[in-house]
């Protein structure tokens, strides 16, 4: 459906993900080029978060495989950064903003080692980039939603990765901050980083993203915004409930069917 991408940053092949046997993502097949700002668009419950989690290897796959920079994810973890949905953690946790941002350095540090001075420098720098330098020592339980979001963003930046997955990074962020963050993401893509963002506001899609990925349980379309973000594709993504697909999913759960016969596992690369 999209033109051939020679060196994809992300390749998803025939991916199916199920909860309690009911598939919420069916046969996703896609490739994303390097150095683009990519929007994942779709209604609530479309499986956007599930797609990101599956790509990051946080969920078991019913079928298919995922490759990043032509490698299975476990070989390239250090190049990958993740901003989870803000509600996915309990913010009433004894930690400061700086503590959370330093977590972005743990992957590079490895087990047992404490953050070094250089790691603090990176963390402070990233906090400045998202305009949170005034809140370094603030308890995370006392942050507003937008500030929590920016803290997570700074943590992801501190990973200094090559590809970033961000799950609704603009939820609860005011318009001015959203603009600032987008221009920050722009400078990152100019430096050849790939940034993949789950986004809700259809108004700003053409303005923000180079590529879009339209998703509603199955992949509707994936390609450059200009040619992909069309009225017809949107109609297909948001219009028409997928009752048939959902009914079949329920059936699979009730009847204890396997999702696939002969599951295709991630191919081994040496």
Partner 1 sequence: MNSLLDFFSFADPNIRFVVIGSVLLTASSAIVGTFTFLHKKSLVGDAIAHAVLPGICLGFMLSGTKNPAYLIAGAFVTGWISLIGVEYITRHTRIKEDTAIGLVLSVFFGIGILMLTVIQKSGNAAQSGLDHFLFGKAAALVGQDLFVFGTVAVLLLIAVFLLFKEFALLAFDKDYAKAIGLPVRGIELTLTSLIVLAVVIGIQAVGVVLMAAILITPAAAARFWTNKISVMITLASIFGAFSGLSGAYISYIAPAMPTGPWIVIVISTVAFISFFFAPKRGVINRLLRQRNIRRTINDENVLKTLYQLSEESRNFFIQRSAEEIIRRRKFSLETLGKILKRLERQGYVERTGKHWSLTEEGKNRGQRVVRIHRLWELYLTTHLNIAPDHVHDDADTIEHLLTPELEAELEKLLNYPKVDPHKSEIPYS
Segment near ligand ADP (CB under 6 A); pick from 45-53, 73-81, 188-196, 199-207? 45-53
User: Which of 8, 16, 38, 48: binder of ligand ADP (CB under 6 A)?
Assistant: 48
The stretch among 3-11, 111-119, 237-245, 248-256 that binds partner 1 (CB under 8 A) is 111-119
| Residue 5's binding partner out of partner 1, Mg ion, ligand ADP, none, with CB under 5 to 8 Å set by partner kind | none
* Binding residues vs Mg ion (CB under 5 A): 49
The site string for partner 1 over 62-91 (x = CB under 8 A, - otherwise) reads ------------x--xx-x-x-x---xxx-
Q: Which does 242 bind (CB under 5 to 8 A by kind): Mg ion, partner 1, ligand ADP, none?
A: none
Q: Is 37 in the site for ligand ADP (CB under 6 A)?
A: no
SS3 letters for the chain? CCCCCCCCCEEEEEEEEEECCEEEEEEEEEEECCCCEEEEECCCCCCHHHHHHHHCCCCCCCEEEEEECCECHHHCHHHEEEECCHHHCCCCCCCEHHHHHHHHHHHHHCCCCCCCHHHHHHHHHHHHHCCCHHHCCCEHHHCCHHHHHHHHHHHHHCCCCCEEEECCCCCCCCHHHHHHHHHHHHHHHHCCCEEEEECCCHHHHHHHCCEEEEEECEEEEEEEHHHHCCHHHHHHHHCCCCHHHHHHHHHHHHCCCCCCCCCCCCCCCC
- Shortest reach from residue 38's CB to Mg ion, in Å: 16
| List of residues contacting ligand ADP (CB under 6 A) | 19-20, 24, 42, 44-50
| List of residues contacting partner 1 (CB under 8 A) | 53, 56-58, 74, 77-78, 80, 82, 84, 88-90, 93-96, 99-100, 103-104, 106-107, 109, 111-112, 114-115, 139, 141, 155, 159
């Amino acid at each position: 459906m999209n033109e051939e991408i020679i060196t994809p940053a992300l390749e998803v092949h025939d991916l199916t993900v199920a909860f309690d046997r009911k598939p919420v993502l069916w046969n996703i097949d896609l490739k994303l080029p390097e150095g683009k700002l990519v929007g994942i668009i779709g209604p609530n419950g479309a499986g956007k978060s599930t797609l990101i989690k599956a790509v990051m290897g946080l969920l078991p796959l019913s079928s298919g495989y995922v490759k990043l920079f032509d490698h299975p994810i476990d070989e390239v973890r250090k190049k990958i950064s993740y901003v989870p949905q803000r509600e996915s953690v309990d913010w009433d946790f004894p930690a400061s903003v700086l503590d959370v941002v330093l977590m972005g350095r743990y992957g590079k540090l490895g087990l047992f080692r404490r953050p070094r001075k250089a790691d603090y420098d990176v963390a402070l720098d990233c906090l400045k980039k998202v305009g949170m330098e005034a809140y370094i020592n603030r308890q995370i339980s006392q942050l507003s939603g937008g500030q929590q979001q920016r803290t997570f963003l700074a943590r992801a930046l501190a990973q200094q990765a090559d590809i970033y997955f961000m799950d609704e990074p603009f939820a609860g962020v005011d318009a001015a901050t959203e603009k600032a963050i987008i221009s920050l993401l722009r400078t990152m893509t100019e430096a050849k980083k790939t940034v993949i963002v789950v986004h809700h506001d259809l108004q700003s899609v053409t303005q923000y993203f180079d590529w879009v990925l339209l998703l509603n349980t199955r992949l509707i379309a994936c390609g450059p915004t200009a040619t992909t973000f069309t009225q017809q594709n949107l109609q297909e993504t948001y219009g028409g409930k997928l009752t048939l697909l959902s009914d079949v999913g329920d059936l699979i759960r009730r009847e204890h069917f396997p999702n696939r016969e002969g599951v295709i596992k991630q191919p081994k690369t040496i």
